[in-house]
Amino acid sequence: MIRDRSSLFLHRDFRRLWTADAVSQLGGSVTLVALPLVAIGTLHATPFEMSLLVVCEYLAAPVIGLPAGAWVDRMRQRRVMVVGDLCRAVLLGSIPVAACLGTLTLLQLYVVAFGMSVCTAFFDTAFQSHLPHLVADEQLVEGNVKLETTRSIAQVGGPGVGGIAVGALTAPVAIVVNAATFVLSALSLARIRTPDPRPRSGAGGGNLRSEIAEGLRFVLGHRLLRAITISSALSNMCGTISASMLLALLAGQLHLSAFLCGLVFSAEAVGGLLGALCVERITAKLGQGRAMWLSMTLSSVLWLLALPMYQADGRFAIAVALNGLGWAGFMTFRVSSVAYRQRLCPKPLLGRMTASFRFVVWGLMPVGALIGGVLGQSLGVRQAMWVGVVGELLAVLPILCSPLRTMRDLPVTEKEAVPAVV
């Protein structure tokens, strides 16, 4: 395969992959506001019922996350992404149909959320595994920066548009926008001309359990990947404790409008955009290892400062700004860790490596959402969020206790790439 080693702006197939991700992210950011507001506004969900919706959104990771990686390695990855997009469009389309018929229930929202999480597990595993086949190794950081930047741009307008659409059209109707974007994403992926890589030799004939174990050994047996994975898992779990209660606080307790709720997510996206644009400069100055833990620490401190500012007055603007700055800081860790995993991993193992990482990191997110719901129902919504943001600050400890704390450049040598026996 011939790869254009100049700027990825000139890489036609990367642009198509980029476009597919951007439009699906735009629609997804609308649903980020619309789906919980369906539960709160239309179905009058309690904080605990809200947390169950978030549990369903991430439940696929612990349920099918590991075999998904082995299955993706056995299939053509772009085909997996197209099917995933179309299935998500159908699932989301069922919500406005049920709303029009007067049959929409929380149970259907839970089913849709879980189905979306299954499709997303396959799509994201295939997506991250496909990028190294499409671009050169030295372009992976640039590719991931561009993808994260565009996702942030798409998410800037999405929540605000979602908030306006919910207010003007009702939340179920606003979800139609998301369903349409997944169809557009599938069409863009189908136009990629680079051959969809064949499954690895012997795929489908091996032992599924041993293939899954190989992916886990790679992630948990490598000392640097292990530290990154544990920190990411703890950060995601604690972050989900807070995130599961955020709209319960904003819409349920502070009675803010759908538009103002959307602004919180737009600020996160603006921060993510600014942070992604600075990743290469920051890592060049501080080194990859040091930039990772500093990024996590800074973002957690900013989120701690933001929480008490969420009030139904002028302090809300300060909270929104601090939240956005927190995401700007976090992007250095997010982009650098993804690019490092992709560079380090042998290509035949990419699907299982990605799925193993997602299993550990995303697998704790339903646990976090459930903890958030229990704490929110028993202690109060804001108290539950305090537990989450303090936990995120402590999540940096595994990286601080590893060699990453002082490393400038992360090694990708043959010796480092061979996982230790777990």
pTM, rounded to two decimals: 0.67
Is pLDDT above 90 for 8?
A: no
Query: pLDDT-derived band of residue 21, with 50, 70 and 90 as boundaries?
Result: confident
- Give the count of beta carbons closer than 10 Å to the beta carbon of residue 383: 12
**pLDDT in the model for residue 224:** 84
pLDDT in tens, 197-256: 776 554 445 566 777 787 788 888 888 888 889 999 999 999 989 988 888 899 888 988
CA distances from 373 to 43, 233, 361, 367 (A): 17, 19, 20, 10
Measured N-to-C along each axis, helices 258-286 and 140-169 cross at an angle, to the nearest 10 degrees, of 170
| pLDDT of 9 over the 80 cut | no
**Mean per-residue pLDDT for 352-378?**
85
CA 240-146-218 angle, 5° bins: 60
Query: How does the average pLDDT of the chain come out, rounded?
Result: 80
Q: Quickly tell me which residue has 């759908």 as its tokens.
A: 258
Domains of the chain: 13-195+207-417 (1.20.1250.20)
What's at 10, amino acid-wise?
A: L
Report the alpha-carbon distance of residue 171 to residue 362 in Å, rounded.
27
Question: What is the distance between the alpha carbons of residues 392 and 298, in angstroms, rounded to a whole number?
Answer: 11
113-127: average pLDDT? 84
Q: Which residue bears the tokens 């197209």?
A: 82
- Sign, Cα dihedral of 71, 195, 18, 326: positive
pLDDT at 315: 93
Q: Do 85 and 142 touch, CB atoms closer than 8 A?
A: no
The rounded distance, in Å, linking the Cα atoms of 103 and 269 is: 34
pLDDT tens per residue across span 62-111? 787 777 777 777 778 888 889 999 999 999 999 889 988 889 899 999 99
Please, what is the Cα angle at 313 between 307 and 318, to 5 degrees? 45
Cα distance from N-terminal residue to C-terminal residue, the chain: 36
Q: What is the pLDDT of residues 148-195, one digit of tens each?
A: 677 666 655 556 566 666 666 666 667 787 788 899 999 988 888 887
Tell me: the pLDDT tens digits for 125-156?
787 777 777 777 677 777 777 776 776 666 55
Do 163 and 33 meet the contact criterion of CB atoms below 8 Å apart?
A: yes
Q: What is residue 321's predicted lDDT score, i.e. its pLDDT?
A: 93
Residue 156 pLDDT: 53
The pLDDT of residue 26 is 73
Nearest-5° Cα angle at 88, 54 to 238: 25
Give the ranges where 170-222 is alpha helix by DSSP (H).
Answer: 171-190, 208-221
Answer whether 154's CB lies under 8 Å from 26's CB: yes
pLDDT band at 5 (very low <50, low <70, confident <90, very high): very low
Q: Please enumerate in sequence order all residues whose Cβ is within 8 A of that of 368, keeping only pairs 6 or more positions apart, or say none.
A: 236, 237, 238, 239, 240, 241, 244, 388
